[in-house]
Amino acid sequence: MPWSKIKIEDRPLDSGEGRLLNYPEAMNEAFCQILGNDPRVIVMGQGVDDFKGIFGATKDLHLKFGHQRAFDTPLSENGLTGVAVGMAITGLRPIYCHNRPDFLLLTLDQIVNHAAKWQLMFGGKSTGVPLVIWSCVGRGWGSACQHSQALHNAFLHYPGLKIVVPSSPYDSKGLLISAVKDNNPVLFFEHRFNFKYPGHVPQEMYAIPFGKGATCRQGTDLTIVAVSHIVNDLKKIVGDYSQASLELIDLRTIKPIDKELIFKSVSKTGRLLVVDSAWETQGLGNYVISLVAMEGIPLKSKPRILANPDVYTPSGYTLEQEFYLDDAKILSAISACLDK
């Protein structure tokens, strides 16, 4: 099936609609359908062909499609990213999987100086770089400061890249298909906590457009903008909150970002809270608030950011609980935005 024939979806499924899959099942189905749809697709990375795959997402791909199309790679992130860039500019569509995005720091030269700039350096006349770099943010069980960094915001600064940060099995499948369709390098940031949540997922292939966020809940008093696993925590909090009417937006992608959805919501509510699972300084919150400020949207109270403190993740359990966001911190931030 040509990529242009794949169904485009831009709305989340209603509760109870379609099949209920757990997160690894939805991801594995997406990988299988993508590999079956296009012989140019390659899935590579550390643990891809393990007996459980990478958190179950790549399970048995090598058995179904062969070791030439789904294979393990050595611990050489920078070199292998260069190999993946070379594959992409010579006609393949590789997906390079990392267990953790922490190791993307080793690949910055290949991602920023080569993949992101390739078309620009050739005046837009060269082939694209259809490369997907998939990674999964860690948390818990003592992952500490070198295996639990949420680095999606770090790549916002570089032109030529697209950044995906899904929160549900439905979005993850549809956005991965869009990522492989795209002729530009895409950084796809999963989160390990997402894998706790099942969701309703269509069996057929479908693509969710980049730059199209989703309104998870309509409200009139406060706009809450978020990405990744924290959206799942917010859905419950917003649903149970009775003191005000809260609107929750899941951006899905942060580059491109759905400015219009944010502007429309904040114009209605007059209040803004950005919740992010990464660090606060120069992160998603700063970006979203600056967009709203430049648009000149009047606010009823000052905008707020709720994110991780600007320190590295501790390894001890009690310190880790203090470091990460929880329901109490979220509720406190909501009350502050509402002047309660």
**Helical ranges in the chain per DSSP H:** 23-37, 61-65, 77-89, 108-110, 118-121, 169-181, 230-240, 259-269, 284-295, 317-323, 327-337
Q: Which of 77, 190, 247, 320 is catalytic?
A: 77
User: What value does the CA radius of gyration of the chain take, rounded to a whole number of Å?
Assistant: 20
Q: Which residues pair with 214 in a beta bridge?
A: 250
| CB count in 10 Å sphere of residue 333 | 19
Residue 25 designated active-site: no
Task: Tell me the backbone φ, ψ of residue 338, rounded to 5 degrees.
Answer: -90, 5
Residue 229 designated active-site: no
- Six token digits for residue 123: 């005046």
Q: In Å, what is the CA distance from 146 to each residue of 79, 100, 101, 105, 137? A: 20, 9, 10, 11, 11
Q: Which of 98, 147, 152, 191 is catalytic?
A: 147
Spatial distance between the Cα atoms of 96 and 119, rounded to a whole number of angstroms? 20
Instruction: Please enumerate, as own/partner, the contacts of 34-37 that have beta carbons within 8 Å and a separation of 24 or more.
Output: 34/95, 34/176, 34/177, 34/180, 34/205, 35/61, 35/64, 35/65, 35/69, 35/70, 36/65, 37/1, 37/3, 37/6, 37/205
Spatial distance between the Cα atoms of 194 and 250, rounded to a whole number of angstroms? 14
| Residues carrying an active site annotation | 77, 147
